[in-house]
Structure 1
Amino acid sequence: MPTIDLTEPIFAETIENNDIVILDFWAEWCGPCKAYGPVYERVSEKYPDVVFGKIDTEDQQQLAGMFGIRSIPTTIVFKEGIGVFMQPGALPEQALEDLVEKIKEIDMDEVRAEMAEKEGNES
């Protein structure tokens, strides 16, 4: 599946209605972003069951602010609507592929249980 440009109006719907969503926060003026873009595109074509979204931090400043993006590119991953990964910096192609495979293996019932336990401990 080719990458999609995500904007605020369709952001929540995209996260909620897809099992795995990988986001690339980038900007036109960013050299490392330009190098990461083709890598991100190639990997997106290998995983048609995963949504690869690109968010232009200049155009979508509110989304970038919502995630506290301080450096770009930054990769963020959601699985079943829950943020499970965030890392600034361009990932090498093999690392991005490995990340997709690891995300697919995450047991989200365990993640939800851990979140509930943490929430209970904070109360």
Structure 2
Amino acid sequence: MPTVELTKDNFAETLKDNDFVLIDFWADWCGPCRQFAPVFEKSADTHTDIVHAKVDTEAQRELAFEFKIQSIPTLMIVRERTVIYNEPGALPSEALESLITQAKELDMDEVRQKITEQGGDAPE
């Protein structure tokens, strides 16, 4: 599945309409972002059940600000409208595969319960 370019106009709808979204916050001038791009694209081809999306932090400054992106690339995983991973750094292919496997295995009911117990608002 090809990657989706996220903007402030389609961001919320993309997360609402898909249960598993992998987001790459990047910029054209960023060397590590360019190194990570083929790894991300390969993952998109391999995991057609996951939406792979990219946010150009230069063009979408509002989104970068909203998610407090301070270093790029930053990878975010959103499952069932809940951010379960949000870390800067380019990952090698094996590490990305491991991360996706771990994210798929999470019990989201348990995650939401932990968020609620910690005083956060878990999405419904």
User: What interval of TM-score do these two structures reach, taking the shorter chain for normalisation?
Assistant: over 0.9
TM-score after normalising by structure 1: 0.95
Which residue is equivalent to 1:43?
43
**Could you tell me which amino acid in structure 1 is paired with residue 85 of structure 2?**
F
Count of residue correspondences: 120
Which residue is equivalent to 1:96?
96
Which residue is equivalent to 1:57?
57
| Structure 1: unaligned runs, 5 residues or longer | none
CA RMSD, Structure 1 to Structure 2 (Å): 1.0
TM-score after normalising by structure 2: 0.94
**Could you tell me which amino acid in structure 1 is paired with residue 21 of structure 2?**
V
**Could you tell me which amino acid in structure 1 is paired with residue 55 of structure 2?**
I
Deviations 1:6-44 (A, max 9, x none): 111110011111111010000000011111001100011
The structure richer in helix per residue is 1
| Structure 2: unaligned runs, 5 residues or longer | none
Runs of at least 4 residues of structure 1 off by over 2 A? none
The 2-side partners of 1:10 and 1:44 are apart by: 19
**Could you tell me which amino acid in structure 1 is paired with residue 75 of structure 2?**
T
**Could you tell me which amino acid in structure 2 is paired with residue 110 of structure 1?**
E
The 1-side partners of 2:98 and 2:3 are apart by: 18
Deviation at 1:115, TM superposition (A): 1.2
Deviation at 1:116, TM superposition (A): 1.3
